[in-house]
């Protein structure tokens, strides 16, 4: 079976991890700060806080922005559940904005409509989690304009988008947002095994997130409520978590970062071959946006009306031909847990229509030409 995504681990990556294993520090050594700095250098953000997953990064980002009970967090339904769950972790209420039918990212017209209605009801969101779906940057300029007009904060869920370019600037420079979040799960642009990072240009948010990721324990006398009792002394000044990344994981991420540009180029090449091969088929393909480079995390095709088989039939036919296709995502508001909050079928029609017809094809740096041709042949046979 050709998988839909797969990591690429080199001998250099293995050597980097082995070096840490032979060193004095498996965690809380020098590798984590070095990795944070390297990601900052790549993205152009001022601060990076490395954690043990993208989900943890979303959680501390929400906490640092002060998300609490009675606040609202909004995101889109076509995302991984973690983009919404981070709001629930903070006791806040979660709501969704439908996606755009072409980009599959947040529909900024729908966002504006929903903001107008929310303002009238006094229910404006505190945080919008903007997902760069499949690696394509969302319309950050428009979102940033709306955030200033309506006073909400913006977290970029850039878990698909490390290595993407938005209007000639790297995603993660957080120019249009408060915090950007990355995941280093093996299917993402680069991997640590498990891992994540929150990056920001705001000193105060960075300090808060760093504390939250490590129990809110400090050795900084300036943050204590009295003089330290001695050199051993520390204080817990708020409720935090152990979300730390280990040096073993950071070493893998640091080494992988050296190949990030090469990975993105290969993903882009895979996507371009699909674009050409499927031009004449009844499929909606990922859009291209001027001055913007997708990280090509997923290559999604949406079946058009003319396709004879339905999505389940196409899915089963392709799987039977050894193509490890997948579906991203089941709309979050249709998950049983979210139905418990009163969401129902029909709430976000564009997302639901997309879900009914979407398939993710294998797209990763080490996909060979032969494998890709197998995928193309199988799709061309099935989608008629
Ligand atoms: C992968 C992913 C996450 C969560 O990242 P983990 O590192 O798996 O916790 C969050 N949001 C999106 C959009 C993702 O794809």
Would you write out the chain's pLDDT as a tens digit for each of its 384 residues? 999 999 999 999 999 999 999 999 999 999 999 999 999 999 999 999 999 999 999 999 999 999 999 999 999 999 999 999 999 999 999 999 999 999 999 999 999 999 999 999 999 999 999 999 999 999 999 999 999 999 999 999 999 999 999 999 999 999 999 999 999 999 999 999 999 999 999 999 999 999 999 999 999 999 999 999 999 999 999 999 999 999 999 999 999 999 999 999 999 999 999 999 999 999 999 999 999 999 999 999 999 999 999 999 999 999 999 999 999 999 999 999 999 999 999 999 999 999 999 999 999 999 999 999 999 999 999 998
The b-or-e profile of 252-273 (16+ CB within 10 A means b, else e) is: bbbbbbebbeebbebbbebbeb
Rounded distance from Cα 58 to ligand 1 centre (Å): 9
Ligand 1: does its nearest atom lie under 6 Å from the Cβ of 185? yes
**According to the model, what pLDDT value does residue 375 have?**
98
The model's pTM is 0.98
Closest atom of ligand 1 to 185 CA is 7
The b-or-e profile of 83-120 (16+ CB within 10 A means b, else e) is: bbbbbbbbebbbbbbbbbeebbbbbbebbbebbeebee
Q: Are 283 and 306 in contact (CB under 8 A)?
A: no
Nearest in space to 96 (alpha carbons), one of 123, 73, 126, 113: 73
Q: Which two tokens stand for residue 333?
A: 């508001």
Strands 235-236 and 217-218: antiparallel
Quick one: residue 44, left, alpha or beta (phi over 0 = left, psi -120 to 50 = alpha)?
left
Q: Whose CA is nearest to atom 14 of ligand 1?
A: 159
Q: How far is 267 from 379, CA to CA, in rounded Å? A: 19
Q: Whose CA is nearest to atom 2 of ligand 1?
A: 159
Ligand 1: does its nearest atom lie under 6 Å from the Cβ of 159? yes
DSSP 135: G
């Amino acid at each position: 079976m050709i998988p839909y995504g797969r990591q690429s681990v080199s001998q250099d990556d293995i050597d980097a991890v082995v070096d840490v294993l032979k060193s004095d520090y498996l965690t809380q050594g020098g590798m984590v700060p070095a990795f944070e700095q390297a990601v900052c250098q790549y993205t152009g953000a001022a601060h990076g806080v490395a954690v043990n997953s993208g989900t943890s990064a979303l959680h501390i980002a929400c906490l640092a922005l002060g998300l609490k009970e009675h606040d609202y967090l909004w995101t889109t339904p076509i995302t991984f559940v973690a983009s919404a769950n981070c709001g629930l972790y903070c006791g806040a209420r979660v709501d969704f904005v439908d996606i755009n039918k072409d980009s599959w990212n947040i529909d900024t017209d729908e966002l504006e409509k929903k903001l107008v209605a929310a303002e009238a009801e006094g229910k404006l969101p505190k945080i919008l989690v903007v997902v760069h779906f499949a690696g394509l940057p969302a319309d950050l300029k428009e979102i940033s304009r709306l955030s200033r007009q309506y006073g909400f904060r913006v977290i970029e869920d850039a878990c698909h988008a490390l290595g993407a370019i938005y209007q000639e600037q790297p995603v993660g420079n957080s120019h249009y947002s408060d915090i950007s979040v990355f995941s280093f799960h093996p299917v993402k642009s680069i991997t640590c095994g498990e891992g994540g990072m929150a990056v920001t240009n705001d000193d105060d948010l960075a300090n808060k997130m760093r504390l939250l990721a490590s129990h809110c324990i400090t050795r900084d006398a300036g943050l204590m409520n009295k003089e330290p009792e001695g050199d051993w002394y520390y204080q817990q000044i708020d409720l935090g978590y152990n979300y730390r990344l280990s040096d073993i994981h950071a070493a893998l991420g640091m080494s992988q970062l050296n190949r990030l540009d090469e990975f993105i180029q290969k993903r882009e090449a895979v996507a371009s071959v699909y674009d050409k091969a499927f031009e004449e088929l009844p499929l909606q393909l990922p859009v291209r946006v001027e001055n913007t480079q997708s990280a090509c995390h997923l290559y999604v095709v949406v079946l058009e009306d003319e396709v004879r088989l339905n999505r389940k039939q196409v899915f089963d036919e392709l799987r039977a031909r050894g193509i490890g296709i997948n579906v991203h995502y089941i709309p979050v508001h249709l998950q049983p847990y979210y139905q418990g909050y009163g969401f129902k079928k029909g709430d976000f029609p564009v997302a639901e229509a997309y879900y009914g017809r979407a398939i993710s094809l294998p797209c990763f740096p080490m996909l060979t030409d032969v494998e890709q041709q197998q995928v193309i042949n199988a799709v061309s046979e099935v989608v008629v």
